Amino acid sequence: MGADAEDTASPLHAALAVSEARLRRVQRIGMVGGFEIELHSGINHRSGEYMALQGQHAAPVTERHQDWIARLHPEDREKAERTFLRAIAQDSGITDYAQEYRIITPAGEVRWISARAEIERAPDGTALRVVGAHVDVTRLKQTEAALATSRAELQELLATLDLATVMVRDMEGRIQFWSSGCERLLGWSAAEAKGRVARELLDTLFPQPFPEIEAQLLREGEWTGDLVSRHRDRRPMVLATRKVLHRDRQGQPAAVMESFDDVTALRQARAELQALNHSLEQRVSEEVARREAIQARTAHAERMQALGELAGGMAHDMRNILQMVSSASAIIADVVDDPDQVLAMLDALNAAVERGDAVAGRLLAFARRSELSATPIDAAALLEDLRIVLERTLGRAYACDVAVPPGLPPLMADRRQLEAALVNLAVNARDAMPEGGVVRLSARLEEAADSPDGLPGAYIRLEVTDTGTGMDEATLARVVEPFFTTKPVEQGTGLGLPMAKGFAEQSGGGLAIRSAPGEGTTVSLWLPVAGQSAGQSAG
């Protein structure tokens, strides 16, 4: 009989052990720990799972009430103990005990514990025993905290959205959301606006047909532009508007959110600025035209003055020549029987004719109408020949130097006109040095980048330099004008430099003058290298 009882008990004990093991496993997985408190003795029985939740060794223990108090978080300790003592008080009548608090594990980790228990009481209400469980709800608390933070952020976002000038409408245009910003800007309350068709409520004028705007919304998801709407008091407003399309989970158009910004004053200021700019452009155009007219009149006056000076100079020279002719003719008439005097007067007449021809030649050269016969000229030989002539004609107080580098290519020009121009320049150089000095003739090869007009090609640069008195800027500005001269009337006609300039330009080159008071003068003649056309780059 005893053996049978033992055999029967063994399977029951084994099944019970398996069940308890499963229960502990479930408690461990669910982070649930059991406890039992004997209130009359103060003994606390803690399961292994309970101790594991407390961050300690997972083994059943028996401890005191003060051990539990010591594990409580300092901020929760007083409240947690007060709640427990109130629950077990005789007059509380509480049989279901529950509270949540934090504990600190030996490793310093903070955990949230949810305590649930039943309180067994004597017939007189005295609490005898507390049997319950602890559940670790730390993750739940963290989730709740995150949700609370998100909820607060969402509330803040919604509050901000409400402050903004934002409207939400459905695809038929009926207003579903009308922010307080819209109320302030447009005058309509949310109650008045909701359910109304937005474009009808605001009497909106669109910059393009409304269907085109809706088509762009559906195609691109947004639209931006200026709309003219009316305030509740009917005054027009220019609203910088952005429309954004919202789609539902199936991708179908569900709503449109629109934001507004009042740019009425800005657009008006821009229109006024554009009008002002247009007015300024007109005024500038009129002022430019006026100044161009003044410049044209001034240029015309200057041309007329130059023509007057030209005519005066020509009249002066021709009058002198005619006087010589007239005098010679009168004398011939008186001495017709004296061949020697007649011949002398004929020589005077020939000299007058030659002088008249020289004046005409200079005028033609200045006007670039004289016939030129250009041939290749060796600059070194030309300048050396001129040096010999000038040393005899300039006077004893003057020397003439020539500086030409070897291997210089020939230039292309009319030799007779070039010699006349260089002699005129040398005479001018001599006259600029009344106490004597040196007239330097030089030549060198130059490229177009340094030429007076910047024309492409290679040039021979002939220079006549003196060490005389020089010229100021005002004189330099007029020195190539016809009949302008700083010499006495009997010493110059004012055609030398204009003739040289006209000759150089007609030959495909140019003339430049460099001078300053007390530093002498250098006149440069640019003439093209032989074998290339004027304006052709040297290869």
Can you give the pLDDT at residue 223?
A: 94
CATH 3.30.450.20 given to domain 31-135: yes
DSSP assignment of 377-400 equals E-HHHHHHHHHHHHHHHS-TTEEE
User: 430 vs 435, 464, 521, CA distance in Å?
Assistant: 9, 11, 11
Can you give the pLDDT at residue 81?
A: 92
The tens place of each residue's pLDDT in the chain, 539 residues long, gives 444 544 555 665 565 555 455 545 545 555 688 889 998 888 899 988 899 888 888 888 999 989 999 999 999 999 999 999 999 998 988 999 999 999 999 999 999 999 999 999 999 999 999 998 888 898 888 888 888 877 777 666 666 666 678 889 999 999 998 988 888 889 999 899 999 999 999 999 999 999 999 999 999 999 999 999 999 999 999 999 999 999 998 999 999 988 888 888 888 888 888 888 888 888 888 888 888 888 777 755 655 555 555 555 555 566 666 666 766 677 777 777 777 777 777 776 776 666 666 566 555 554 544 567 889 999 899 899 888 878 877 788 888 899 999 989 999 999 888 888 888 888 888 888 888 888 999 999 987 655 555 566 789 999 999 988 888 888 777 777 765 666 554 455 556 677 788 888 888 888 888 988 888 889 989 999 987 654 443 33
Q: In whole angstroms, give the CA distance from residue 484 to residue 498.
A: 9
Can you give the pLDDT at residue 490?
A: 47
- pLDDT tens for 47-96 read 888 998 888 888 889 999 899 999 999 999 999 999 999 999 989 889 99
Contact 293, 215 (CB under 8 A): no
Neighbour-count burial of 513, counting CB atoms closer than 10 A to its CB (0-12 exposed, 13-18 middle, 19+ buried): middle
Can you give the pLDDT at residue 14?
A: 60
Residues in the chain: 539
Considering only CA atoms, give the Rg of the chain: 59
Q: Which CATH architecture has domain 372-528?
A: 2-Layer Sandwich (3.30)
Contact 418, 378 (CB under 8 A): no
Other CB atoms within a 10 A radius of the CB of residue 182 amount to 24
Q: What pTM does this model have?
A: 0.37
- pLDDT tens for 215-243 read 999 999 999 999 999 999 999 999 999 99
Beta-carbon contacts of residue 80 (< 8 Å; ≥ 6 apart): 72, 99, 101
Q: Tell me, which fold does domain 164-262 have in CATH?
A: Beta-Lactamase (3.30.450)
User: 332 vs 235, 324, 343, 345, 469, CA distance in Å?
Assistant: 106, 12, 9, 7, 46
Contact 195, 175 (CB under 8 A): yes
Edge to edge, the sheet with strand 510-515 lists 398-403, 437-447, 458-466, 521-528, 510-515
Q: Which of 527, 167, 522 is CA-nearest to residue 382?
A: 527
539, two tokens:
């290869």
Contact 464, 471 (CB under 8 A): no
Can you give the pLDDT at residue 537?
A: 36
Which residue(s) pair with 460 in the sheet? 445, 527
